[in-house]
Chains A and B, each alone.
Chain A
Amino acid sequence: MTAIETTDVVVIGSGFGGAIPAYRLAAGGARVVVLERGPWLTGEDFEHDFKFGSSSTRAFEFTMGDGMNILGGNCVGGGSVVYFAAMPRAPRYAFERLGGAGRRMWPAAIDRPALDPWYDKVAESLPISRQDWNDVTYSGGLFAAACAHAGRTANPVPAAIDRAKCTNCNWMMSGCRFDAKRSLLLNYLPGALAHGAQIRALHEVQRLSRIDGGYRVHFNTVHDVDYREVTGSGAIDCKVVIVAAGAAATPAILQRSEEDLGTMPAAVGRYFSGNGERLNTAVVDENRVREVLGLSRPDGRAYEAYQIGKGPVCATWDWLDENLPEFHRYSLEQLYFPPGFGTILAQVRDATGPTWFGAEKKEMLRRWQSWLTVFIMSEDDNEGVFGPPPETGNADRISQQMLSRGPLRYDPTANTRAAWARADADVRDILERDGLAKVMPWSDEVIGAYTVHPLSSCRIGDDPETSALDDTHELRDHPGIFVTDGSSVPGALTVNPAFTIAALAERAVPGIVEAVARRGVPVRYVAEPPEAVSSSRRPLLTQA
């Protein structure tokens, strides 16, 4: 029988919540093993291809729930590989939210000024840069011009994109072929590897159990094409565990660990937030774009450029206003969603038959290059609850890759619905003004709501009843287990949350370093940013 491997720290998940502590702990001298359930893709693995089995399905996970569906990363680098790299800081008021419980959701120790130094650290490490109007794509420019026409402001959104390398191909949801998107494959993860950390792909953690002086992390290995197939299993012993499997998966690991570890805090698997997200699709009238907004491209077309770009580049932040009450605050961000995910739920305005399929939908699709998608990020009521975890993983897999069904239930409250309705009406006001476009929200009657930014299912807070983690991200009553992913964010942020998740992970690291040191590991906090690399295709990035 082989002896069980031991290390100092096991990190579960390699997205923002995992990669950041992995780098800093490894740089500080700890032995770190990162277990990632998805594949390890780099460089040329990132294909421009919709075919099942290409990176568009290998790197992605679409987990269907009851009333809420989650799109997320499933690969080394997690969400950073498949996201759109829009990186705004959360507005001040987001940290002051009371939510349904009527008391401040965030720990007293955290507000925007307190988090700003940690945001700065992430911005330096990725890096993140301001975009200017020369970077704004046609779709972003069209949205900005429509906002201005409606008397609104619009901002180019800060992004973790190397502008010199970006080709505006809009394939970034399948990973960036050109290494222009500053994913974690280009900074924290190679930084962690350079300091001796090991990253193991296709290792799906199932549960934790207690051992003398720490924890045992139990995993299955999964097939590199058919993720439904378990190819083996094993365990690693460690002193400290960092759970960063994402807000859709962290609860399942902790729930499944209850049998051995004892009762979990009541907030594990509760208070899930979809970041108040919702999409609207506009079909623009090309002539009105020219006449009303005065826009034209060098080739004479007014727009017809939905396919071109780099995801969201422009947003209006007029309703990110701390003087407004909760559920009245939201951002509207122009967005691209590729065919497939981006077309199924789009609805026909003024349809006489079905709104999301059928003959009229096909007519709408004929004008796809004249589409403009607007992303709403508003405030929801943290109404998501996870049921018992499935036998393995966080969901029952349907397809070989990408499609699964999980135990999340989300029944939007009147507050959440009202917030969506306000934002929907606002999108329509901006884009239907003077006949610019016809706009409809995506259907929520087909699969329920959806989010690309799952949050809060294991959140930080000061109130033990409504938060699973204290303000150091340590799991209550389970010392030595830390949760640093999107599940730790207390509630909707009204902007893209990746930057805030990353900043919180940075903020948590000094406390985790202390916890590891207390367990006899010679480790120190390292403040320097990881050395940036320009290509994900370097020898270091081969599987351990």
Chain B
Amino acid sequence: MPSEATRLTVSEVMTLEAFADTIIPGERRYATDRAVAGAADGGGAVAAGAVDLMASEEGGIGGLLPTLVIGLNDHAQAYAEKHDRTLDDSVPAFVALDFDDRTALAAALMAPGTDEQDLWVPLAMFSVMAWDTGASVHTTEALAAGHPGLTTMGFTEPDADGLWRFPDFSYRRVLASPHPHTTPSGDPA
């Protein structure tokens, strides 16, 4: 799977990272980080492995990524021209947009009824999944490594055998009256 990801060029990876960071933003990985805009505390989709997941063999969209990157940067260029933004041409156009502009463009691309919604929504879904499930690695390993999404969400640690069990699960109190027409089997009438 990582071998798939490494086939992307640096500029392609940056563009995809900037898109993923728009979906679930995070803190910059290093001072000069351009792809990650630093719009939120803690690791975001990029730190959670979003590009690995997008490029994974299992995900099935890896082959599309170079085309999506071209499309994304073309849209960013058009957006910049329309809104009088001057882009730094040392990075891909989408990366050159600031976080608010990336957000506005992503929202427009994924708006209902637009031609390309079917392209960009799956890319966003992979970004979300990377952050809140860590689906490019085993969940127990992701948690052990301090996966930014699972730990931020408070996903608990499993038992020693890697399985989850919650013996404390109930208030163990009657908390409402049942519907008066409930049948003896506990069903609606």
Contacts and interface: CB of A to CB of B under 8 A. Distances in A.
A225 to B, nearest CB: 8
A446 B122 CA distance: 10
A344 B133 contact: no
B32 interface: no
A340 interface: yes
Nearest to B133: A50
A358 B103 contact: yes
Contact of B121 (A308, A314, A446): A446
A395 to B, nearest CB: 13
A182 to B, nearest CB: 16
Interface string A136-166: 1110010011011000111111100000000
B172 A133 contact: yes
A445 B110 CA distance: 9
Given A318-B179, A354-B103, A357-B106, A339 B155 contact: yes
B172 A359 contact: no
A177 B163 contact: yes
A145 B176 contact: yes
B135 interface: yes
Interface residues of B, number: 72
A48 B157 CA distance: 11
A240 interface: no
A320 B166 contact: no
Contacts of A344: 124-125, 128-129
Nearest to A494: B188
A135 B189 CA distance: 22
Interface residues of A, number: 84
A143 to B, nearest CB: 9
Interface string B101-113: 0010011001110
A361 B154 CA distance: 15
B189 A137 contact: no
Contact of B179 (A155, A368, A445): A155
24 contacts: A48-B164, A89-B187, A91-B188, A136-B170, A148-B176, A153-B179, A155-B179, A169-B165, A177-B163, A295-B171, A297-B168, A307-B154, A314-B176, A317-B182, A320-B188, A338-B133, A339-B132, A354-B106, A358-B25, A358-B103, A362-B24, A362-B44, A365-B132, A398-B60
Given A317-B182, A339-B155, A399-B61, 19 more contacts: A49-B139, A89-B185, A91-B188, A130-B185, A136-B170, A168-B169, A170-B166, A309-B166, A317-B188, A331-B188, A339-B132, A340-B129, A340-B133, A344-B129, A357-B127, A358-B25, A359-B39, A366-B152, A446-B110
Interface of B: 22-25, 39-40, 44, 53, 56-61, 103, 106-107, 110-112, 118, 121-122, 124-125, 127-129, 131-140, 149-150, 152-156, 158, 162-180, 182-183, 185-189
